[in-house]
Chain A
Amino acid sequence: MTDRPGAPTRRGFLKAGLAGGGALVAGKAAAEGPDPVIPDPLITETQPWAQMWGDGVDVTPYGLPIDYESDVIRRNVDWLTADTISSVNFTPIHALDGTITPQGCAFERHHSGAIDLPKEDYRLMINGLVETPLIFTYADLERFPRVNHTYFLECAANSGMEWAGAQLNGAQFTHGMIHNMEYSGVPLRTLLQEAGVRPEGKWVYVEGADASSNGRSIPLEKALDDCLVAFKANGEALRKEHGYPVRLCVPGWEGNMWIKWLRRVEVTTEAVESREETSKYTDTLADGTSRKWTWAMDAKSVITAPSPQAPITHGPGPLVITGLAWSGRGAIERVDVSLDGGANWQTARLARPGQRMALTRFYLDIDWDGSEMLLQSRAMDETGYVQPTKTALREIRGLNSVYHNNGIQTWWVKTSGEAENVEVS
């Protein structure tokens, strides 16, 4: 890149700064510091942090982010639900990078609040069509052979408010019902084998210890394949609000099935058809019929920056476009990015090869000329599935599916660097 102070293209930048008005000029100062011909006092004057002590190692036994990062927090939208107990909040994906979600700002979705369940009081029951119904304590679970896997958990309703059109102005709100953690735990298969599944068993019904119970039916095939009874996430115990001390991971499948505070697994012949798989988490089509058991989360992506909460503040020149892609049907193989609303595409760079059922970070490094852009990203997974447009989804499903909106997102980046959630033709 040649766009640095003194280089020929800098004149173009200054001109753009004048034309763009206040926002861009302020952005320039923030990004490039003070005038390059005057010595910078942050360098020429000795700063207090270069002279005096910082905090001792006993000040913060368990740390929180530095104050300057105080905007990187969960947010809720109060008009979405009747109360905050059966509700949802949103991960600040616009401000994160990489793929691992810090647990402290990873989104929450409860149906009767985040309960406080000590390990000593924890019990897991396996019953139904098994040779021996069993009770496990938390200590028992820690004695089974353990595995580690990184998976995304996406709420079935992520982007659901956008079915009818562009509503919420920020990637946190449109795409933030998601987190991605490295889980440690015991395969559900191991526990089911310990109880001995009878041949008549075709489903498992899983439920939590909270008042909502959140009971869901899972085909036995999936339960014996990759479901994980997890007690650690990102290296430490699960957070209370994420199911402490034990939750279920159902890789690639809608977040509602990832039962928190897991207390019972029942082997059955049929699906229970519980409230969370009849009244909720069923997807109504235009003709009034509804899909049920829409378990897998299809390939999806979003540009996290620039985005409405993460505007461009540095003016034209080098710009990192970055975002996340994921698929519940396997690994992400490719992400394309469009700067012009889907007319033309270029293939972005994956930070690391895609992992199955996990978030994948992508980057596209461009030289922004300061003109308007309509940014889109388009994920492709290992099955060959290409993330559809919202229009393409609506042609099949109508507007009332509520769940499973994996349509392509558009951000309108203006000359000021600000971005807005829009839909395009």
Chain B
Amino acid sequence: MSKSRNLPAAALLLAFAGPVQAGDFGLGRPALPEEIAAWDLDVAPDGQGLPEGSGSVEDGEEIFSANCAICHGEFAEGVDNYPKLAGGEGTLDRDDPVKTVGSYWPYLSTVWDYVHRSMPFGAAQVLTVDEVYAVTAYILYSNYLVDDDFVLSNENFLEVALPNAEGFIVDDRETTELPRFSQPPCMTDCKPEVEITMRAAVLDVTPEGAAAN
């Protein structure tokens, strides 16, 4: 490439008619629109990146059954250890919270984006844009968030709010933890007595043969 800053400005203009480079090294080449379109697939909570298209709960049910249900269940309830996509409403403050799209995820954009780019597991990026809208609609339906005649599209996408949209706070350790944990530590006679309160060997879930001896 010939966009080194060591070249005289005139030579740079002659040799390179494209946009002015900000960099110093003249390495790499401009990305073409088709290349950016192929790789830049992410969708943000404000809908940026969402392509035109639509899909219904009805179509989504069929697509989900064929591509997703083997791991996630016919009703998105999860099979074995594979993720549950529906259910768990109101469990986040319980001992064993069930975190699903309906109970936990803040943004529908993430569902669309993640399904489009990375699902089905083992055969990602096979669903068309309309199929992803349909599957997303079906996941909403499985979480009782829309009716069975719902059609999701890029037009109405931002009208859907997930239940836990307000459930997240930005890392607050700086105020809630760092001051408390930045005190000079106790060195001697720090506790009157020490008792063992729990033992891993009692639970016995460590893989066999892990010990060196």
Q: Does B104 contact A (CB under 8 A)?
A: yes
Q: Does A29 contact B (CB under 8 A)?
A: no
CB of B40 within 8 A of CB of A264, answer yes
* Residues in chain A near residue B186, CB distance under 8 A: 345
Q: Which of B106, B171, B213 contacts A313 (CB 8 A)?
A: B213
Any A CB within 8 A of the CB of B144: no
CB distance from A23 to the nearest CB of B (A): 9
Judging by beta carbons under 8 Å apart, are A289 and B168 in contact? yes
Closest Cβ–Cβ distance, residue B128 to chain A (whole Å): 17
**Chain B 182-196 per-residue mask, 1 if CB under 8 angstroms from chain A, else 0:** 111111111101111
- A209 → B minimal CB distance (Å): 9
CB distance from A74 to the nearest CB of B (A): 11
Contact B185 A166 (CB under 8 A): no
Instruction: Name which of A40-48, A54-62, A211-219, A225-233 contacts chain B.
Output: A211-219
Chain A interface SS verdict (over half): loop
* Contact A288 B167, beta carbon cutoff 8 Å: yes
Contact B19 A132 (CB under 8 A): yes
How many whole Å from B152's CB to the nearest CB in chain A? 18
Output the nearest chain B residue to A280 by Cβ-Cβ distance.
B99
Are B168's CB and A291's CB within 8 A? yes
Do A425 and B93 contact each other (CB < 8 Å), given the known contacts A75-B207, A279-B104? no
Known: A166-B200, A272-B44. A292 touches B169 (CB 8 A): yes
Q: How far is the CA of A131 from the CA of B19 in the complex (A)?
A: 8
> In the complex, are the beta carbons of A134 and B182 less than 8 A apart?
no
Q: In the assembled complex, how far is the CB of residue A293 from the closest CB belonging to chain B, in whole angstroms?
A: 5
Question: Which residues of the other chain, B, contact A128 by a CB distance below 8 angstroms?
Answer: 40
- Tell me if A275 and B113 are in contact (CB < 8 A): yes
A91 close to chain B: CB less than 8 A = no
Question: Which segment, of A98-106, A304-312, A354-362, faces chain B?
Answer: A304-312
**Cα–Cα, bound, A131→B30 (Å):** 10
Indicate which residue in B18, B124, B177, B184 contacts A396 across the interface (CB closer than 8 Å): B177
Task: Collect the chain A residues with CB atoms within 8 Å of residue B169's CB.
Answer: 289-292
What is the chain A residue whose CB lies nearest that of B100?
A: A279
Contact of A167 with B203 in the complex, beta carbons under 8 Å: yes
B211 touches A125 (CB 8 A): no
Smallest CB–CB gap between A425 and chain B, Å? 4
Cβ of B22 under 8 Å from chain A: yes
Compute how far the CA of A111 lies from the CA of B119 in the bound complex, rounded to whole angstroms: 11
Whole-angstrom distance between the Cβ of B141 and the nearest chain A Cβ? 19
B31, B184, B199, B206: the one contacting A135 at CB < 8 Å is B31
CB pair B211–A279 under 8 Å, yes or no, is: no
Q: How large is the interface on A (under 10, 10 to 19, 20 to 34, 35 or more residues)?
A: 35 or more
Decide: B205 and A167 in contact? CB cutoff 8 A. yes
Report chain B residues within 8 Å CB of A279: 99, 101, 104-105, 110, 114
CB distance from A408 to the nearest CB of B (A): 11
Contacts of B31 in A (CB 8 A): 125-127, 133-135
Residue in contact with A282 in the complex, picked from B124, B168, B183, B197, CB distance below 8 Å: B168
CB distance from A231 to the nearest CB of B (A): 14
In the assembled complex, which residues on chain B have CB atoms less than 8 Å from the CB atom of A131? Answer: 19-22
Chain B residue nearest in CB terms to A173 = B206
Q: Are B110 and A274 in contact (CB under 8 A)?
A: yes
Contacts of B35 in A (CB 8 A): 125, 135
Contacts of A172 in B (CB 8 A): 210
Q: B11 to chain A: which residues have CB within 8 Å? A: none
Once the chains bind, are B190 and A275 in contact (CB under 8 Å)?
A: no
Instruction: Tell whether, in the assembled complex, residue A132 and residue B81 are in contact, meaning their CB atoms are under 8 Å apart.
Output: no
Closest to B115 in A: A275
Interface presence of A168 (CB below 8 A): yes
Known: A132-B30, A293-B170. A288 touches B92 (CB 8 A): yes
Instruction: Mark A332-352 against chain B: 1 for CB-CB distance below 8 A, else 0.
Output: 000010001111111000000
Residue contact A132 to B210, C-beta cutoff 8 Å:
no
Bound together, the chains give a CA A368 to CA B110 distance in angstroms of 55
Q: Which of A81, A86, A296, A308 has the most CB of B within 10 A?
A: A308
- State whether the Cβ of B45 lies closer than 8 Å to any Cβ in chain A: yes
Contact of B171 with A213 in the complex, beta carbons under 8 Å:
no
**Interchain CB contact under 8 A, B121 and A168:** no
Given the complex of chains A and B, what is the CA–CA distance between A237 and B187 in angstroms?
45
CB < 8 Å neighbour of A134 from B29, B185, B212, B213: B29
Q: Quick one: CB contact mask for A245-287 with B, threshold 8 Å, 1 for yes?
A: 0000000000000000001101010111111001100101011
Q: Does B198 contact A (CB under 8 A)?
A: yes
Distance A369 CA – B62 CA, assembled complex (angstroms)? 69
Is A159 part of the contact surface with B, judged by Cβ < 8 Å?
no
CA distance A170 to B208 in the complex (A): 11
A386 touches B182 (CB 8 A): yes
Binds B, one of A2-10, A147-155, A317-325, A377-385: A377-385
Tell me the complex Cα distance, A62–B10, Å: 52
A366 at the interface (CB under 8 A from B): no
Chain B interface (Cβ < 8 Å from any Cβ of A): 18-25, 27-31, 35-36, 39-40, 42-46, 71, 80-83, 92-93, 95-97, 99, 101, 104-107, 109-110, 113-114, 117-118, 121-122, 124-125, 167-173, 176-178, 180-191, 193-201, 203, 205-207, 210-213
What 6 pairs between A and B have smallest CB-CB spacing? A196-B22, A194-B23, A288-B93, A341-B194, A288-B92, A82-B81
In the complex, 18 of the A-B residue pairs with CB atoms within 8 angstroms, ordered by the A residue number, are A76-B207, A77-B206, A82-B80, A94-B212, A95-B212, A130-B22, A168-B200, A169-B201, A263-B39, A271-B44, A273-B107, A278-B110, A284-B92, A291-B171, A292-B170, A308-B200, A336-B187, A342-B190
16 new A-B contacts, CB < 8 A, other than A131-B22, A263-B39, A387-B181, are A75-B210, A77-B206, A127-B39, A165-B198, A193-B23, A211-B118, A273-B109, A273-B110, A278-B168, A296-B173, A308-B200, A345-B185, A383-B178, A388-B180, A396-B176, A400-B96
